[in-house]
Amino acid sequence: MTLVLPAPATPTVAVHGTDARFPVRRIFCVGRNYAAHAREMGKDPDREPPFFFSKPADAVVDSGETIPYPPQTENLHYEAELVVAIGVGGSNITEADALGHVWGYAVGNDLTRRDLQQLAKDLGRPWDFGKAFDRSAVIGPVHTVAEVGHPEKGSIRLTVNGVVKQDADLVELIWSIPEVISYLSHSIALAPGDLIMTGTPAGVGPLVPGDTCVVTIEGLGEISTRIAPRA
């Protein structure tokens, strides 16, 4: 086959303990998966079915990178999240089988243009411009299941310039990792390389140029992002 343009590079994220990289196929994100965050966004956290949005695979950014303040927003927000890296694809995956599809876990930051997301909500429009912009998915090194098991509890914490802004525990997830994988796989066929950002705890807030944002999850280390002036 001859391509009419050069094939785009495969987006990748780091893997802990090796120079090899994890190829990213798609990025799925769970909306409102911690009760206290659902409440701060004005929603009832009772177990309404989970819902998802996506980011483009090439939105990934490594820990340690500096990100220019994105265009078209005056309210860039951080969101600390546990990220699931899928190694084995499948459809209609049962909760019992779900963890067998996981390659590893990483720390993530679901960067959000909150003003554009709110506008989309108000107008009944898609969330893409609020969530799926360039460099909107900071993903740290993936830790293999062999290395860290399947995290079910443990601290998830975010600081801005050293000040704690989000401080929760993975046990507070409304929808567990097996439930998220199973639910998602009944709607789309999961494939190797897919990432799932599992939602953020309460305490979301703004980032401005000059800020350094650090997310830490117990057992998975930390990621750091610095925000530069708008390019």
Query: Which residues would be at the binding site for Mn ion (CB under 5 A)?
Result: 79, 110, 200
CA distances 6 to 3, 9, 25, 108, 169, Å, are: 7, 9, 18, 30, 44
Q: Which is nearer to Mn ion, 28 or 144 (CB)?
A: 28
Strand order in the sheet with 112-113: 112-113, 76-78, 205-206
For CA atoms 173, 177, 182, 187, give the dihedral sign. positive
How far is 197 from 81, CA to CA, in rounded Å?
6
Min separation Cβ 51 and Mn ion, Å: 11
Min separation Cβ 55 and Mn ion, Å: 10
Q: Are strands 80-86 and 102-110 parallel, antiparallel or unpaired?
A: antiparallel
- Residues whose CB falls within 8 Å of the CB of residue 199, separated by 6 or more in sequence, listed in order: 29, 30, 31, 32, 33, 34, 37, 81, 173, 174, 175
- Residue 217 tokens, joined: 């999850």
Q: Which is nearer to Mn ion, 90 or 110 (CB)?
A: 110
Min separation Cβ 8 and Mn ion, Å: 25
How far is 129 from 30, CA to CA, in rounded Å?
16
Q: Which is nearer to Mn ion, 78 or 103 (CB)?
A: 78
How far is 139 from 121, CA to CA, in rounded Å?
26
Q: Which is nearer to Mn ion, 21 or 41 (CB)?
A: 41
Q: Which is nearer to Mn ion, 136 or 200 (CB)?
A: 200
- Residue 33 tokens, joined: 């998966």
Question: What residue is closest to Mn ion based on CB?
Answer: 110
- Residue 38 tokens, joined: 């659902």
Q: Judge whether 68 and 228 are in contact, CB under 8 Å.
A: yes
Min separation Cβ 30 and Mn ion, Å: 7
- Residue 24 tokens, joined: 């990213």
Min separation Cβ 198 and Mn ion, Å: 8
Min separation Cβ 199 and Mn ion, Å: 6
Q: Which is nearer to Mn ion, 110 or 194 (CB)?
A: 110
- Residue 63 tokens, joined: 């820990």
Q: Which is nearer to Mn ion, 32 or 101 (CB)?
A: 32
